[in-house]
């Protein structure tokens, strides 16, 4: 009868030896695995956090508004990024009817941009026309020229038709809540930056 | 009996290794998933797709508005014949810290420099043999991984005059009779001198 | 024995659990990636490169305008060859970006270029020496009217230089531009045939030459509202506004000896120039006329894998809208 190697007495000692694994090994292994699993379960929802932002459509909306305005509505679609002075200045004149020859209609910014009324939009033109810093632009009705707000010729409250080239509501001060798009356009023989803010 | 004992021996250590392997597998898969989510439209990093789109449109807008007044064509011809480089360019032949003193350079400075956007300007053209060549107009360093490029095509005709340092047209030198001018005549029999593509590569710093 | 069997049935549960979770995470990454991609596409704001077609059309139009300017100044027959070269080089450049461009000349409209190129400038007199004279009669369209002058050659407000577009046969229907200087300003007043009047002042520094681009409405690089659109209503003041479309007009100069400099314009049809006041050829010092191309129609096709766009571009550089 073939016999195996001599067995030590006691069944329990036999199983302990042949398992060749101490409780400590197993404890280390399983605890490592459990800790990794806990870490993973805590971490993965954090990956999804950027996608829970509300107002995701604001990016799309501001991009669309900026593209439309710079590439056709305020100028000639076959000459993109070049704006026509009269239609641009009339665009920022909220409350007055739109000129018939311009490509937009309505009297509020939302109507002219064809967005819903409850959307908060602000469109502004900024540039460095004289001096070194970019400033909000203004239409000076006496000389019929676009000037910076800080130059002496801009008096929007004075009763003549001077007008700041900004339209829509005032954006909130905390920038986290807003999405803005910028375009560089040519108007009146120079470049200015158009900024569309949606929140 | 001996097989089982052998199997039990290996399997005993196998449990521990299995736990370690499982943990490793989990961490690897999570890090893989993480790389997918590094770029979101609103994540606050310089690699944001939304910001890249803005840069591209900005470059295109600058060039379109400058070229409406002929500024790009004049910037390409803003050549100093005696020095064999662009006017006031440093020794490398291309501008580095300061953009050129013409309408194109001023427009780039106004719109890009003050928003901490670095940019390079390349001029891409063809030689008469059909080979494509490129000349740097302005170089500020190697672009980052998230640089974008906007380009615009400009045609230079054979008798277009070179532009002097003050912006006026040179009375005698044209692109064809200036001996040191970089742009070759791609169409030697015809009136077109070359069709140049101006590329503005911009990135945020 | 009994202890061993549970271990047998247990299998590699830990590993299987980890593997399952890993597969779930990879699937999650796939879903997130597609969400990012969709959002990126949505945020780009334009469909499949259709705005590229228009942007490139603008560039082709400007290239052909350059070729037209060359053809008008040097060699009128070269326009077809120029457009072919432009098309060939554009397509080889754009082909590297996966786009196919096709540009070819379809037709041209003939015109006449009327200019006075005397170096150093000269008074705007006719070839016979008249100060008030007609440049062209029976003009249908005009483009690229540019006057180059300097401060020292401008008249005072007493005798302004006038350029008129006078409807043929109706001398009361006239568009007039008057130019004079007032200390450092260049003053331009426009009376349209509709009865609108506007005046703009542009401060021009220095004694060098500057350009008054009449059809574009730009004086020394600045927009002049009296030549473009005036006031909040945007009243059109462009060259020859008020002359009903379908009628022809005559281009006249009054007080031509009050101003000095150069000028140039292209008119259509070709035969409308005045043979008594203009010379033919390009003798400098007297106003002359040459054959020129007024308008070029170019066929432009733009193809990518997603967009096919084809149109005919009419290139008339410097024509008032």
What is the rounded average pLDDT of the residues B27-50?
67
Residues C37-67 pLDDT 10s: 777 676 665 556 778 899 899 999 999 999 9
Residues B184-204 pLDDT 10s: 998 888 899 999 999 999 998
Residue scoring higher pLDDT (C138 or C6) = C138
pLDDT of residue A159: 73
Residue C21 in domain:
no
Question: Could you tell me the residue ranges of all domains in chain B?
Answer: 1-37, 49-204
Both C129 and C205 in a single domain? Answer: yes
**Cβ–Cβ below 8 Å for C36 and B21:** no
CB B173 within 8 A of CB B81: yes
CA distance A174 to chain C (A): 23
Both C66 and C155 in a single domain? Answer: no
Under the banding of pLDDT at 50, 70 and 90, the label for residue C9 is low
Both C78 and C183 in a single domain? Answer: no
Both C243 and C172 in a single domain? Answer: yes
CB A182 within 8 A of CB B58: yes
Q: Is the pLDDT of residue C321 over 90?
A: no
Q: Across all residues in chain A, what is the average pLDDT?
A: 82
**Cβ–Cβ below 8 Å for A33 and B22:** yes
Q: Is the pLDDT of residue C209 over 80?
A: yes
Q: Residue C194's domain spans which residues?
A: 110-297
Residues A178-191 pLDDT 10s: 888 999 999 988 89
Q: Is the pLDDT of residue B21 over 80?
A: yes
Residue C16 in domain:
no
Residue scoring higher pLDDT (B35 or C251) = C251
Q: Which residues are CB-contacts of C288 (< 8 A; sequence separation ≥ 6)?
A: C114, C115, C116, C127, C278, C279, C280, C281, C282
Both C287 and C188 in a single domain? Answer: yes
Both C167 and C185 in a single domain? Answer: yes
Distance CA A108, CA C256 (A): 50
Distance CA C264, CA C278 (A): 13
Residues B84-123 pLDDT 10s: 999 999 988 899 989 999 999 999 998 898 888 999 999 9
Q: Is the pLDDT of residue A1 over 60?
A: no
CB C89 within 8 A of CB C287: no
Residue C64 in domain:
yes
Residue scoring higher pLDDT (B132 or B18) = B132
Q: Is the pLDDT of residue C4 over 70?
A: no
**Cβ–Cβ below 8 Å for A29 and B17:** yes
What is the rounded average pLDDT of the residues A28-33?
86
Query: Of all residues in chain C, what percent carry a pLDDT higher than 70?
Result: 92
Q: What are phi and psi of B139, to 5 degrees?
A: -135, 125
Q: Is the pLDDT of residue B16 over 80?
A: no
Structure tokens at B93: 């032949």
Residues A65-78 pLDDT 10s: 998 899 888 988 88
Both C100 and C215 in a single domain? Answer: no
Residues of B in contact with C14 (CB under 8 A): 15, 18-19, 22
Q: Is the pLDDT of residue C190 over 90?
A: yes
pLDDT of residue A12: 46
Residue C15 in domain:
no
Q: Across all residues in chain B, what is the average pLDDT?
A: 85
Number of domains in chain C: 2
> What pTM was computed for the model?
0.82
Q: Is the pLDDT of residue C299 over 90?
A: yes
Both C204 and C93 in a single domain? Answer: no
B49-58, C4-13, C191-200, C256-265: which range is least confident on average?
A: C4-13
Residue C275 in domain:
yes
Residues of A in contact with B68 (CB under 8 A): 79, 82, 186
**Cβ–Cβ below 8 Å for B195 and C40:** no
Both C192 and C88 in a single domain? Answer: no
Residue C5 in domain:
no
State the helix-helix crossing angle for B49-67 and A57-68, rounded to 10 degrees: 10
Both C79 and C190 in a single domain? Answer: no
Residue owning tokens 């009047």: C197
- C-alpha to C-alpha distances, C149 to A70, A91, C175, C219, C247, nearest whole angstrom: 35, 36, 21, 11, 31
Please name the residues between 205 and 244 in chain C that touch chain A, using a CB distance below 8 Å.
Answer: 218, 221-223, 225, 228-234
Instruction: Supply the ipTM of this predicted assembly.
Output: 0.81
């Amino acid at each position: 009868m073939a016999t195996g190697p001599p067995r030590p007495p006691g069944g329990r000692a036999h199983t302990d030896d042949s398992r060749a694994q101490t409780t400590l090994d197993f404890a280390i292994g399983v605890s490592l695995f459990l800790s990794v699993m806990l870490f993973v379960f805590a971490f993965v929802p954090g990956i999804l956090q950027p996608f829970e932002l509300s107002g995701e459509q604001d990016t799309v909306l501001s991009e669309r508004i900026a593209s439309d305005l710079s590439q056709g509505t305020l100028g000639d679609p076959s000459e993109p990024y070049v704006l026509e002075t009269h239609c641009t200045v009339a665009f920022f004149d909220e409350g007055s009817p739109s000129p018939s020859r311009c490509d937009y209609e309505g009297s509020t910014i939302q109507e002219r941009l064809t967005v819903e009324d409850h959307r908060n939009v602000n469109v502004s033109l900024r540039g460095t026309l004289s001096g070194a810093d970019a400033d909000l632009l203004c239409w000076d009705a006496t000389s019929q020229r676009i000037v910076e707000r800080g130059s002496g010729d801009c008096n929007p409250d004075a009763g003549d038709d001077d007008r700041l080239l900004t339209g829509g509501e005032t954006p909130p001060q905390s920038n986290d809540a807003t999405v803005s798009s910028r375009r560089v356009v040519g108007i009146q023989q120079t470049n200015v930056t158009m900024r569309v803010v949606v929140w | 009996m001996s097989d089982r004992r052998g199997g039990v021996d290996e399997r005993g250590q196998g449990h521990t290794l299995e736990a370690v392997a499982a943990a490793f597998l989990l961490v690897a898969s999570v890090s893989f998933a993480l790389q997918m989510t590094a770029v979101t439209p609103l994540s606050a990093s310089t690699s944001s797709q939304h910001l890249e789109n803005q840069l591209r449109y900005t470059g295109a807008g600058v060039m379109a508005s400058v070229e409406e007044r002929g500024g790009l064509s004049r910037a390409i011809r803003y050549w100093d014949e005696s020095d064999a480089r662009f006017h006031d360019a440093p020794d490398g032949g291309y501008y580095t810290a300061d953009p050129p003193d013409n309408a194109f350079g001023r427009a780039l400075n106004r719109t890009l420099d003050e928003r901490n956007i670095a940019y390079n300007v390349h001029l891409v053209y063809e030689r008469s043999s059909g080979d494509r060549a490129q000349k740097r107009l302005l170089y500020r360093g190697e672009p980052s991984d998230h640089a974008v490029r906007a380009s615009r095509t400009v045609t230079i005709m054979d008798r277009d005059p070179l532009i002097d340092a003050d912006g006026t047209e040179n009375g005698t030198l044209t692109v064809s009779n200036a001996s040191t001018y970089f742009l070759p005549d791609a169409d030697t029999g015809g009136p077109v001198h070359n069709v140049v593509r101006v590329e503005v590569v911009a990135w945020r710093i | 024995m009994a202890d061993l069997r549970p271990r047998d049935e247990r299998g590699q549960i830990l590993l299987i659990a980890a593997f399952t979770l890993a597969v779930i995470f990879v699937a999650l990454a796939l879903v997130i990636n597609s969400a990012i991609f969709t959002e990126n596409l949505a945020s780009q704001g334009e469909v499949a490169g259709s705005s590229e077609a228009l942007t490139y059309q603008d560039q082709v139009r400007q290239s052909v305008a350059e070729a037209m300017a060359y053809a008008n100044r040097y060699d009128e027959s070269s326009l077809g060859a120029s457009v072919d070269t432009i098309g060939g080089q554009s397509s080889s450049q754009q082909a590297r970006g996966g786009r196919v461009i096709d540009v070819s000349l379809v037709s041209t409209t003939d015109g006449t270029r009327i200019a006075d190129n005397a170096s150093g400038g000269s008074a705007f007199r006719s070839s016979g020496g008249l100060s008030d004279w007609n440049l062209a009669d029976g003009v249908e369209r005009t483009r690229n009217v540019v006057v180059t002058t300097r401060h020292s050659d401008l008249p005072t407000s007493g005798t302004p230089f006038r350029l008129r577009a006078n409807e043929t046969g109706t001398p009361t229907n006239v568009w007039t531009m008057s130019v004079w200087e007032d200390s450092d300003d260049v003053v331009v007043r426009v009376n349209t045939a509709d009865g609108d009047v506007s005046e703009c002042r542009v401060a021009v520094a220095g004694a060098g030459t500057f350009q008054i681009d009449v059809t574009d409405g730009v004086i020394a690089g600045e927009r002049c509202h009296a030549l473009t659109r005036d006031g909040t209503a945007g009243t059109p003041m462009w060259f020859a506004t008020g002359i009903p479309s379908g009628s022809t007009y005559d281009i006249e100069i009054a007080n031509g000896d009050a101003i000095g400099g150069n000028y140039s314009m292209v008119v259509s049809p070709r035969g409308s120039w005045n043979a008594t006041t203009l010379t033919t050829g390009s003798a400098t010092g007297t106003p002359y006329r040459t054959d020129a191309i007024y308008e070029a129609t170019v066929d432009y096709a733009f193809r990518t894998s997603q967009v096919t766009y084809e149109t005919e571009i009419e290139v008339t550089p410097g024509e008032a809208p």
